[in-house]
Chain A
Amino acid sequence: MSTRSSFRAGLFDGAKATAPLLPAAASIGLVTGVAATAVGLPPGQAVSMSVAFYSPIVMLTALNLLQSGAPPAVVVLGSLLVGARFAMLSLSISPYLERLSTGWRWVLAYFLLTPTYVLSVERYESRPETSRHGFYLGTAIPGWVTLQASFLFGIGFGTSVPSRWQLGFVVQLAFIALLMRFLSDRADAVAALTAGVLAVLAANFPLGTGLLVAITGGVAAGEWVRRLEVT
């Protein structure tokens, strides 16, 4: 098989693999769009944010912090802390992509999200002959288009709803849903609870130091519980 046709086959297989996940992507995109208008972002900034971040969870973090009136530096810091797990995905998938050119690696890096990561690694392991960039892009492009299109619908919906509907609450509810998804064991739950309680207690610490105290405390508590369970 020539390189070009295996690239195309990879694209096609990737798209097929990602199809079952598209409804979920559409719903999260819709919710993020509603959240962006609820926080009061103008459509231009909202769309730029959605394209630049390409991560609903990083975006919802930024929106939450903006809504609670956090200083801009804290918004940037909090969003990047949530995005830190991308570095882990990046490291974990890097062996499979090392033969690709720098240009391709930059393109693929932009599209790195958990579903694309999971589907691609699974495929590279089960069928090593798969076109690496073909399959990866095949999973990523439909996901990107679905997310951005549903985001636009969310903006349209959010702006057409009167303010007495209190849509701002969607920002927190979406966050709660994502938080519960991330909780996988007791250590996670302790980390979350500790961070949450500390954040409330430290709410009037200056310039986001309360947030840092809460996050550090939560991570330490999670690690402490894990060690107790191991020994």
Chain B
Amino acid sequence: MAGEAVDGGLLWTLIALVGAGTFALRLSFLQLRGLVDEFPPALERPLSYLPVAVLAAIVFPALFTLDGTPGGVINVRVFAASLAVVVAWRTRSVVATIVVGMGVLWTATFLFG
């Protein structure tokens, strides 16, 4: 839990830093207009992979790692997450993904937990 891992002051610093950072990224070229006319193509394509790479790099270990070591344990959450991937892919709906994922998690916990 965040409350235990990060103390209050540190959490506020974190909020301020990311808040200021996202604002700076949004403002960047609105303010620097004229310095750069187009995004360097060498940067543009790698940047387009950045969101998916970061999201996957964060969510995979949360599902497949136990106690900071690669576990690869097939547990209830991995099963629920796999079905959620299919639902997210077919429906593109955040709500449907969560409803199915949580539904599977609860049902499986009820049956086997």
Interfacial residues, chain A to chain B (CB-CB below 8 A) = 24, 27-28, 31, 39-42, 45, 48-49, 52-55, 57-58, 61-69, 72, 75-76, 78-95, 97-98, 102, 105-106, 108-110, 112, 165-167, 169-183, 187-188, 191-201, 203-204, 210-211, 214-215, 218-219, 222-223, 226
Would you list the 3 A-B pairs with minimal beta carbon distance, nearest first?
Answer: A52-B19, A218-B53, A196-B60
Sample of 22 A–B contacts (CB below 8 Å): A40-B3, A42-B3, A45-B11, A52-B22, A54-B22, A67-B1, A86-B25, A106-B27, A109-B23, A166-B102, A171-B62, A172-B62, A173-B101, A179-B56, A191-B52, A191-B53, A195-B53, A197-B60, A201-B70, A203-B61, A211-B58, A223-B46
Check B51 against A85 for contact (C-beta < 8 Å): yes
Check A27 against B94 for contact (C-beta < 8 Å): yes
Check B63 against A172 for contact (C-beta < 8 Å): yes
Kindly identify, within residues 65 to 95 of chain B, every residue whose CB is under 8 Å from any CB belonging to chain A: 65, 68-70, 72, 77, 80-81, 84-85, 88-89, 92-95
Interfacial residues, chain B to chain A (CB-CB below 8 A) = 1-6, 8, 10-19, 21-23, 25-31, 33, 36, 38-39, 44-65, 68-70, 72, 77, 80-81, 84-85, 88-89, 92-95, 97-98, 101-102, 105-106, 109
Q: A49-B15, A80-B21, A105-B27 are in contact. List 16 more A-B contacts (CB 8 A).
A: A40-B1, A40-B3, A41-B2, A45-B15, A52-B18, A68-B62, A82-B55, A87-B28, A91-B38, A91-B39, A169-B105, A171-B62, A179-B52, A192-B53, A203-B61, A222-B49
Closest to A170 in B: B98
From B70, B81, B89, A203 is in contact (CB under 8 Å) with: B70
Check B68 against A203 for contact (C-beta < 8 Å): yes
The listed residue with most B CB atoms (<10 A of its CB), out of A173, A181, A194, is A173
- Cβ of B11: which chain A residues have Cβ within 8 Å of it? 41, 45
Check B5 against A176 for contact (C-beta < 8 Å): no
From A85, A166, A193, B109 is in contact (CB under 8 Å) with: A166
From A52, A78, A90, A177, B54 is in contact (CB under 8 Å) with: A78
Check B28 against A90 for contact (C-beta < 8 Å): yes
Check B2 against A66 for contact (C-beta < 8 Å): yes
Bound-state CA distance A48–B16 (Å) is 9
- Cβ of A82: which chain B residues have Cβ within 8 Å of it? 50-51, 54-55
Check A80 against B25 for contact (C-beta < 8 Å): yes
Bound-state CA distance A188–B47 (Å) is 11
Bound-state CA distance A74–B43 (Å) is 23
Check B53 against A94 for contact (C-beta < 8 Å): no
Closest Cβ of chain A to B103, distance in Å, is 11
Bound-state CA distance A31–B99 (Å) is 11
From A65, A94, A108, A183, B58 is in contact (CB under 8 Å) with: A65
Check A176 against B81 for contact (C-beta < 8 Å): yes
From A57, A76, A173, A197, B51 is in contact (CB under 8 Å) with: A57
Check A94 against B54 for contact (C-beta < 8 Å): no
Check A67 against B62 for contact (C-beta < 8 Å): yes
